[in-house]
Structure 1
Amino acid sequence: MLAGAHAPRFTRPSAPELVGRSPAITRVQELVRRAAALDGGVLLTAEPGTAVDSVARDLHARSRHSTAPYVIVECAAGDAARLDRVLFGVTAEEAPTDLESVSSDSRIAAARGGILFLQDVTELPAGPQARLARIARDGEVRIDHTPVPTAFRLVASASPGIDGDVHAHRFRADLYRRLSAVRIDVPPLRERAEDVPALAVRLVEDICATRGIGVRTFTQAAQALLAALTWPGNLAELHDVLDRVVTETREDVIHVEHVLPALQLHRAPAPFVPVGNLREARLRFERDYIAAVLQHHDWRMAAAAQTLGIQRPNLYRKARQLGIPLARTSE
């Protein structure tokens, strides 16, 4: 289905989550570009902390329905009765049964002609799942007793474990098929570490613009430090750290020493037990940081030396002094 779709070239993403040039995110960019030219369901799978809503909005902005409504339903918010009211509204008990009936103040009615984005769709209770599956199958619905085409596109997000939910019958297989005409698996940050510097730049630009302050830039060393981390909380965690850095830094350039306190605050602190004197503590930090930069550059000494701002022979000497094992590659 995707192979024959025609769509314009992928331009600068409005979604920070799509920033980058790694093979993992380039594939996602291409799938979003192609999916925007189609009208079927789209399923976005991602780990917690991924900005899936921004990806769905980017897809909507690239589609031919970009001026139509974009309606979001947070399926994990509220109980079954509330979700039923939000999605379908309040309908009369004597409504005809040939089609699903919704009221004009429902999210289903509001999404006509545009996109209905179901965030965390596997959190939907069984009743709303069944009603949505029927609406998706019929392509029609009664709004205040009047039959009309639904004319909206279903886009949903879920954790990568949705397949297990389908197999265990916790999520309806027919609704899954409707949603996953196009499936886009958004990778976690740990699988696209090379994108973290560009993501950090974009996030800081957005944070500074929101606050009405001048844009901050990064040193290469600060970017390398960010890229060396695994970010289990994904983009949300990275955003929180950078928001704290911008809050607490008055300089125009963000250095490593500005990032480290934000990282320590963001993670649950371990009990502090002083070990050694100040010189020994500095040596431990220097060793850990140089090792992280080397790992980030796949142990390419020239690239690591450039990031660290030292000559390559000095990096070899530092590594030997600090006991950092070197995996040399031909350069």
Structure 2
Amino acid sequence: MKKYNSLLLLGLICFSPIIASAHVKWFTEKEPEKVPIEQILSIEFIVLSLLIALFLALLSQFIPQLMKIPGVAKIDMKLDGFRKYSRYILKYGTALSFILQVVNGTMFAPEFTIHHNWQTILMWAIIVLLLIPHHLATKLASVFMFGLFIHIWGYSGWFHMLDYGFYIAIIGVLMVEKTKLDTVAFPFLYLGTGLSLCWVAVEKWVYPMMTIDIIHRHNVPTFGFAPELFIVLSAFIEFVVGYLLVVGILNRVLAVALTILFTLTTLIFGYTEVVGHAMIHIVLLIFIIEGVSFYYPPVKMHKTRLDQMIFVFLNFLFVLSTFLLIYYRFA
């Protein structure tokens, strides 16, 4: 069993660079060109979908064995001790991320440029309020963040802003601090981040030429795969990571793997990557600390191993189909 766990960890880290161009809009000037649905639903795509669904079903039964690896339980207990700092990390980490953004002349993401003085003022107001150690200031900052997000949503479109749905989750966590909804805040953060990753992954299937342009422009290694197949695989890896965050499987390991990934991709994409993924780094750090302490994974609704495996297998295929069809319909 330890052999399988070691292979799992190695696989996550080794294949993680496939996700290097997570937000393709930041690094290409090529216009999005939707490919036919028949091209997306190739034999390779369908076979990979079934194999991954089967792999995830088996994975759900291997997770408890991770705690039996020497040293893992000790590390787990050590990380548990940092949970009391999670909210402070989110609050001050968000302030740090916004500082990087406003200095870069952007809001929320590198593609949303600041055009007016009031936007700069509002960004700095959010930063100052987040740095004030009082929950009322944090709530006011979250209100300003939500207003600015809605403003950008107004001219970018709701479909585009779904790429950054995790910001809604962050705003929600900050807004409900010290209220009756406080207990559901971090599960909402898991859900929002996982769904955002799934949504962004589908973009690579629907608009593959944008990612191909990035591969050629930045000399992204494809590890011997043809660029077209490489894109399909990269999107699947990213989609699986988002899905696992939602269903509550292996969250600490995923957070560590993604943190390593986003650090390595700065070597390819530079400062834009730092600014764009700073907020994601903060969220992943919280996932590393928290694990699933506050989250009742949906897979746990089913008691027997067979039921859990069937749930994960069918649920993955359902979620994959739903995301792909909705994205393709409205893209």
Taking structure 2 as the reference length, the TM-score comes to 0.24
Structure with the higher strand share, 1 or 2: 1
Taking structure 1 as the reference length, the TM-score comes to 0.24
Q: Which has the larger radius of gyration?
A: 1
* Higher RCO (C-alpha under 8 Å, 6+ residues apart): 2
